[in-house]
């Protein structure tokens, strides 16, 4: 998958994937632990950013 065709997720979709609440997802975005972009005021998170976040958490726990 190229960057131009990367899947963009909404905050509720990320909440479901990570099994976290809305506030926690926004905390991760605010602290730059989870990469996101804004498109005309709508917050979107690349699916790859979610995967990278999870992998980083696994590495940190090891």
Per-residue pLDDT of the chain (62 residues; tens, 9 = 90+): 555 667 999 999 999 999 999 999 999 999 999 999 999 999 999 999 999 999 999 999 98
Q: Are 29 and 20 in contact (CB under 8 A)?
A: no
pTM score, whole prediction: 0.85
Q: How many CB atoms are closer than 10 A to CB 3?
A: 7
């Amino acid at each position: 998958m190229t960057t131009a065709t990367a899947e963009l997720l909404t905050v509720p979709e990320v909440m479901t994937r990570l099994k976290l609440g809305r506030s926690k997802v926004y905390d991760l975005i605010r602290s730059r632990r989870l990469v996101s972009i804004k498109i005309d005021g709508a917050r979107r998170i690349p699916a790859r950013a979610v995967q990278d976040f999870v992998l980083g958490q696994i590495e940190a726990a090891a």
